[in-house]
C-alpha cells in the first residue's frame, strides 16, 4: 500500500512553470485592445455590436424553438468569440493604418499572406537619389517587393510614383526573362490615390488574383527568381567604385576584421 503514491507520482504530469516576464492571455488581449484603440477609437463599439448580433440571433432562435436559456448560453459564448474575432480584424487594420506611408510597410504586410505564397520581406529593387538598387535616403526611396504564388509573380512598389513605376517596369522585364513569358506578372503600387492599393487591402487584392500556376510550378519559379537576388546595400561614403580595385583591397578588411 505504501508503494502506490510512488507509482502514481511517476506518471503525474509536471506543471510547466510560467515565465513571469511573459504576459498572460488576458494581459495580451488588453494590450492589443489598447494599441488598436489608439488608431481606432470605435473598436469597443464594433466588438459590442458583434457580440450583441450573435447573442441576439441565438436568443431569438431559442424563443422560437422553446429553449431560450440554453441557446442564450451558447449565444454568450459564441458572442464572445465574435467579439474577439472583431478585435483581431480591427487591430490588424489599425496596425496597417499605423505603418501606412512608412518605408518598408509592404514587407511587413506580406508576412500576413496565406500559405502558398513565397515572398521577399526585403525589397528586391530600390532607387533613391537617381541610383537604382542603391538606397541612400530610405525615406524618399522607391522600392519593389516580390511575391510568388498560384496567381504568378506579384511585384509591389512603394514610394514616389515616377520612380516606383520605373522600377516596376524594370523588374517586370527581369522576372519575365528569368521565369519565362508563360508566367503571369502582376504589378501593384501601394499608396493612397488613383491606381494604387491601400496597405490594409494589399493581401486581399493579391488573394483575389486568378490562379494560373500549379504548386510545383510555383516552387520552380521561386527557385529561378532567387538568382535575381535583392537590392544592393548602399556604397560607403568616400569610396569611388570606379577606382576601387579588388587586387588592392586588404583581405582582412573584406572579412570585417
- At 19 the pLDDT is 56
Find, among 111, 73, 77, 76, the residue nearest to 92 by Cα: 111
Residues near 164 by beta carbon (within 8 Å), at least 6 away in sequence: 142, 143, 144, 157, 158, 189
- Looking at the predicted structure, is the pLDDT value of residue 230 above 60? no
pLDDT band of 129, cuts 50, 70, 90: low
CB 175 within 8 A of CB 120: no
- Looking at the predicted structure, is the pLDDT value of residue 143 above 60? yes
pTM for the model: 0.63
- At 152 the pLDDT is 93
- At 141 the pLDDT is 78
Per-residue pLDDT reduced to its tens digit, 150-170: 999 999 998 888 888 999 999
Identify the residue whose cell numbers are 480591427.
Answer: 90
- Looking at the predicted structure, is the pLDDT value of residue 89 above 90? no
Find, among 231, 203, 215, 248, the residue nearest to 92 by Cα: 203
pLDDT band of 86, cuts 50, 70, 90: very high
Region class of 72: left (phi > 0), else alpha (psi between -120 and 50), else beta: alpha
User: To the nearest whole percent, how much of the chain has pLDDT over 90?
Assistant: 35
Mean pLDDT, the chain, whole residue set? 78
- Looking at the predicted structure, is the pLDDT value of residue 249 above 60? no
- Looking at the predicted structure, is the pLDDT value of residue 142 above 80? yes
- At 101 the pLDDT is 67
Distance CA 38, CA 48 (A): 18
Residues near 2 by beta carbon (within 8 Å), at least 6 away in sequence: none
Tell how strand 118-119 and strand 131-132 pair up: unpaired
At 2, list the grid cell: 505504501
Amino acid at each position: 500500500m505504501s508503494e502506490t503514491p510512488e507509482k502514481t507520482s511517476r506518471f503525474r504530469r509536471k506543471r510547466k512553470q510560467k515565465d513571469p516576464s511573459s504576459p498572460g492571455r488576458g494581459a495580451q488581449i488588453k494590450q492589443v485592445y489598447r494599441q488598436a484603440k489608439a488608431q481606432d477609437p470605435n473598436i469597443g463599439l464594433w466588438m459590442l455590436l458583434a457580440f450583441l448580433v450573435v447573442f441576439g440571433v441565438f436568443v431569438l432562435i431559442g424563443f422560437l424553438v422553446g429553449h431560450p436559456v440554453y441557446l442564450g448560453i451558447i449565444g454568450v459564448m459564441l458572442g464572445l468569440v465574435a467579439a474577439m474575432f472583431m478585435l483581431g480584424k480591427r487591430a490588424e487594420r489599425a496596425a496597417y493604418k499605423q505603418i501606412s506611408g512608412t518605408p518598408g510597410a509592404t514587407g511587413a504586410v506580406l508576412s500576413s499572406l496565406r500559405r502558398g505564397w513565397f515572398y521577399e520581406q526585403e525589397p528586391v529593387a530600390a532607387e533613391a537619389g537617381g541610383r537604382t538598387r542603391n538606397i541612400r535616403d530610405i525615406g524618399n526611396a522607391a522600392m519593389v517587393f516580390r511575391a510568388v504564388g498560384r496567381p504568378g509573380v506579384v511585384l509591389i512598389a512603394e514610394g514616389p510614383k515616377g520612380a516606383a513605376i520605373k522600377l516596376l517596369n524594370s523588374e517586370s522585364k527581369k522576372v519575365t526573362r528569368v521565369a519565362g513569358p508563360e508566367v503571369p506578372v502582376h504589378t501593384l503600387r501601394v499608396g493612397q490615390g488613383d491606381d494604387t492599393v491601400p496597405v490594409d487591402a494589399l493581401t486581399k487584392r493579391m488573394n483575389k488574383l486568378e490562379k494560373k500556376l500549379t504548386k510545383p510550378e510555383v516552387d520552380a519559379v521561386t527557385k529561378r527568381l532567387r538568382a535575381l537576388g535583392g537590392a544592393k546595400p548602399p556604397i560607403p561614403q568616400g569610396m569611388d567604385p570606379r577606382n576601387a580595385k579588388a587586387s588592392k583591397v586588404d583581405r582582412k578588411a573584406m572579412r570585417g576584421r
